[in-house]
């Protein structure tokens, strides 16, 4: 019995390890090709996780091109602005749905939940025309502004504020605090954990956003990282392996580093999004 369970334990570690290596190998190969001097002429073969001729040549090419830095700046700006909007709107909205007493609250909340079902894809053309008519096409605004609606965030915040007792509110209001002061001075300081969760989810979502920016940002100077990657990839196919992999590394690295530092919180956030109450 005991030796059998030990054996099954060893088998589990072995399977997990093999699967883990398989999962991680595209990244390792990406790194190896990106540091291989001759890889732009031909994909190094047989594939190896050590470059045949180590050089940072491909990275120099990528930086010389300069567009990647521009894309980084654009992505950073768009993401920070969107996250700020989303998280603020969700905290305010979630608080109202949790503590507010007004007519039509339930119906409104259902409406907010329903918005999660309507993807951006189903609204592309009218939104495009709307921003076209307002002259904001080919600026970063159309990417930022619509993020003010964050149904999932409102839902998360409502659930969170529901668990904070009403007695805090009553105490504050006996002291003469209005609804806004109660929110900002009593409830907001307690909302740290849920705010952090939303910042993480919203950051990843906005940083990787693709189809909507693709539609509204035709100007190459405004391209975000995913747009820049896609246009480079579509132009070059599987030629220029070294440069492509250097670009991929550059784009993936910040997220991976952030993930390694914050992994506990990120994994918690994702898990939270999948646990039904």
Partner 1 sequence: MGEQVESNYGSKKVQDVELTKTKKKKAMFTWLLFLAPTLIGILLFIVYPVFESVRLSFYSSNGTIENWVGLRNYERIIGASSFWNSVYNTFFIGFFQLLIAIPLGFILASMINRIQKFQSFFKVLFFLPNVTSIVAAAMIFAFVLQPELGLLNHFLSTIGLPTSTWLSDPSTSKWGVILLTVWHWLGFVIIICLANLQAISPELYEASEIDGASGLQQWFYITIPNMAGTFAFLIIMGWISGLQRFNEVFVLGGAGGSPNRSLQTMVAFIYERGFGGFEFGIASAATCLLFIIILLFTMLNLKLTRLKI
| Through-space distance between the first and last CA atoms of the chain, rounded to whole angstroms | 38
Q: 35, 95, 152, 160: which one contacts partner 1 (CB under 8 A)? A: 95
Decide if 139 contacts 222 (C-beta within 8 A).
yes
CB of 64 to partner 1, least distance (A): 20
Kindly give, in sequence order, each residue whose CB lies less than 8 Å from that of residue 235, ignoring residues fewer than 6 positions away.
Answer: none
Q: 68, 93, 199, 222: which one contacts partner 1 (CB under 8 A)? A: 93
CB of 93 to partner 1, least distance (A): 4
Chain position carrying tokens 């999948």? 274
Decide if 256 contacts 238 (C-beta within 8 A).
no
What are the structure tokens assigned to 237, written together?
């196919």
Q: Is 138 exposed, middle or buried (0-12, 13-18, 19+ CB in 10 A)?
A: middle
Verify binding: residue 13, partner 1, rule CB under 8 A.
Answer: yes
Cα 242 to Cα 29, 59, 228, 238: the distances in Å are 11, 9, 16, 10
Decide if 34 contacts 58 (C-beta within 8 A).
yes
CB of 96 to partner 1, least distance (A): 4
Q: Using CB under 8 A, which of the segments 55-63, 65-73, 172-180, 190-198 binds partner 1?
A: 172-180
According to DSSP, the residues that pair with 36 across neighbouring strands are 54
Q: Using CB under 8 A, which of the segments 60-68, 76-84, 167-175, 261-269 binds partner 1?
A: 261-269
Residues 23-52 close enough to bind partner 1 by CB under 8 A: 23-27, 29-30, 33, 42-47
Verify binding: residue 239, partner 1, rule CB under 8 A.
Answer: no
Decide if 98 contacts 247 (C-beta within 8 A).
no
Q: How far apart are CA 169 and CA 15, in angstroms?
A: 53
Output the furthest CA–CA distance in the chain (Å, rounded): 75
Q: 38, 61, 81, 92: which one contacts partner 1 (CB under 8 A)? A: 92
| Per-residue contact flags (x/-) with partner 1 for residues 45 to 84, judged by CB under 8 A | xxx-------------------------------------
Verify binding: residue 178, partner 1, rule CB under 8 A.
Answer: yes
CB of 68 to partner 1, least distance (A): 12
Residues 100-139 close enough to bind partner 1 by CB under 8 A: 100-103, 108, 111-112, 115, 117-119, 121-130, 132
Count, residues near partner 1 per rule CB under 8 A: 101
Q: Using CB under 8 A, which of the segments 54-62, 164-172, 186-194, 234-242 binds partner 1?
A: 234-242
CB of 74 to partner 1, least distance (A): 14
CB of 252 to partner 1, least distance (A): 5
Q: How far apart are CA 162 and CA 98, in angstroms?
A: 6
Residues 197-226 close enough to bind partner 1 by CB under 8 A: 204, 207-208, 210-211, 214-215, 225-226
Decide if 89 contacts 155 (C-beta within 8 A).
no
Verify binding: residue 274, partner 1, rule CB under 8 A.
Answer: yes
């Amino acid at each position: 019995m005991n030796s059998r369970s030990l054996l099954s334990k060893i088998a589990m570690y072995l399977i997990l390890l093999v699967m883990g290596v398989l999962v991680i190998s595209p990244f390792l190969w990406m790194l190896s090709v990106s540091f291989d001097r001759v890889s732009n002429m031909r994909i190094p073969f047989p594939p190896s996780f050590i470059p045949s001729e180590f050089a940072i040549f491909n990275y120099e090419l990528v930086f010389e091109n300069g567009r990647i830095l521009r894309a980084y700046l654009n992505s950073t700006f768009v993401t920070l602005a969107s996250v700020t909007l989303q998280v603020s709107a969700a905290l305010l909205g979630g608080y109202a749905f949790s503590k507010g007493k007004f007519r039509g609250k339930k119906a409104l909340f259902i409406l907010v939940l329903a918005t999660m079902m309507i993807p951006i894809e189903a609204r592309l053309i009218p939104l495009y025309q709307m921003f076209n008519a307002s002259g904001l096409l080919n600026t970063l605004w159309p990417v930022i502004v619509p993020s003010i609606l964050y149904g999932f965030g409102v839902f998360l915040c409502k659930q969170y504020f529901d668990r904070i007792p009403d007695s805090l509110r009553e105490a504050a209001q006996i002291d003469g605090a209005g609804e806004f002061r109660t929110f900002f001075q009593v409830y907001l300081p307690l909302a740290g954990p849920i705010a952090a969760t939303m910042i993480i989810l919203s950051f990843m979502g906005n940083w990787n956003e693709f189809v909507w920016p693709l539609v509204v940002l035709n100007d190459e100077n405004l391209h975000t990282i995913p747009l820049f990657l896609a246009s480079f990839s579509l132009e070059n196919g599987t030629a220029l392996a070294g440069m492509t992999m250097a670009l991929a590394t550059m784009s993936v690295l910040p997220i991976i580093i952030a993930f390694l530092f914050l992994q506990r919180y990120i994994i918690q956030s994702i898990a939270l999004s999948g646990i039904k109450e």
